Amino acid sequence: MTAASGARVEAPESAAGPSDPIRVHPVLPCTLVLVGLMGAGKSSIGRRLAQRLGVDFVDADAEIEAAAGRTIPEIFQELGEPAFRDGERRVIRRLLEDRTPHVLATGGGAFMAPDTREAIKEKGLSLWLKADLDTLFERVARRSNRPLLKTADPKETLRNLMAIRYPVYAEADIVVETRRVPIETTVEKVYQALVAHLNQCHLNQ
Ligand SMILES: Nc1ncnc2c1ncn2[C@@H]1O[C@H](COP(=O)(O)OP(=O)(O)OP(=O)(O)O)[C@@H](O)[C@H]1O
Ligand SMILES: O=C(O)C1=C[C@@H](O)[C@@H](O)[C@H](O)C1
Ligand SMILES: [Mg+2]
């Protein structure tokens, strides 16, 4: 989506004095949609970024779980991956159409579905959190809630997914490389990339 930029100036909560900080943050012209592989940080970065921008955070995976009344592993096991993908497509379209601009963390496979990708391009601003294989593997190894990685060699599975998905994730409007650094460092990097992008749109108008 073509973005118009603006800045919201927030007065401090207490009575403003000469030394009170004035916080200025960009106004999201549309929903910021985070894409990327499992472990890229869409959920953990997205939540913190939304707080910083003063907008809602929505996690598509959590919305699908709530709608299905099941966890993602249960959906995959009991209903199958096609049913999960169908729910994912519907949930993301609904969020893009019905909710005011917010930060939306998608599941790792969402941007791979052509119609979801089209909807995101039309109604949102997409940002790919790009990470290398070792960083991703280190992060996903901490939890076992990702059905696609329940394979004999999850690192090889991730490598294969990277080969298939990275050329598609590269269609995102903004790309931010994330490495093994503290989460807040990545949040700052994403925030700065977003501001630069919105300023660029503004200059091009
Ligand atoms: N710099 C960093 N950026 C992002 N995540 C980090 C960073 N450092 C550590 N982490 C950790 O890596 C994990 C990232 O997982 P997260 O669930 O946010 O990824 P995701 O992209 O939402 O994955 P999924 O597609 O499976 O939902 C979290 O446990 C987070 O605490
Ligand atoms: O990369 C994927 O296809 C997935 C990522 C997760 O966020 C979940 O959406 C689910 O486990 C599938
Ligand atoms: Mg997530």
- Among 18-32, 50-64, 116-130, 143-157, whose mean pLDDT is lowest? 18-32
Domains in the chain: boundaries: 27-203
pLDDT digits (tens, 9 = 90+) for 58-102: 999 999 999 999 999 999 999 999 999 999 999 999 999 999 999
pLDDT of residue 94: 96
For every residue of the chain, which 3-state class applies, written as one string?
CCCCCCEEEECCCCCCCCCCCCEEEECCCCEEEEECCCCCCHHHHHHHHHHHHCCCEEEHHHHHHHHHCCCHHHHHHHHCHHHHHHHHHHHHHHHHHHCCCCEEECCCCHHHCHHHHHHHHHHEEEEEEECCHHHHHHHHCCCCCCHHHCCCCHHHHHHHHHHHHHHHHCCCCEEEECCCCCHHHHHHHHHHHHHHHHHHHHHCC
Q: Cα(142) to centroid of ligand 1, in Å?
A: 10
Please give the ipTM for the structure prediction. Answer: 0.97
pLDDT digits (tens, 9 = 90+) for 170-179: 999 999 999 9
- The pick from 43, 44, 63, 188 for probing ligand 1's pocket by mutation, whose C-beta has the most ligand atoms within 8 angstroms, reads 44
Q: Structure pTM?
A: 0.90
State which ligand 2 atom lies nearest to the alpha carbon of 165. 1
CATH 3.10.105.10 fits domain 27-203: no
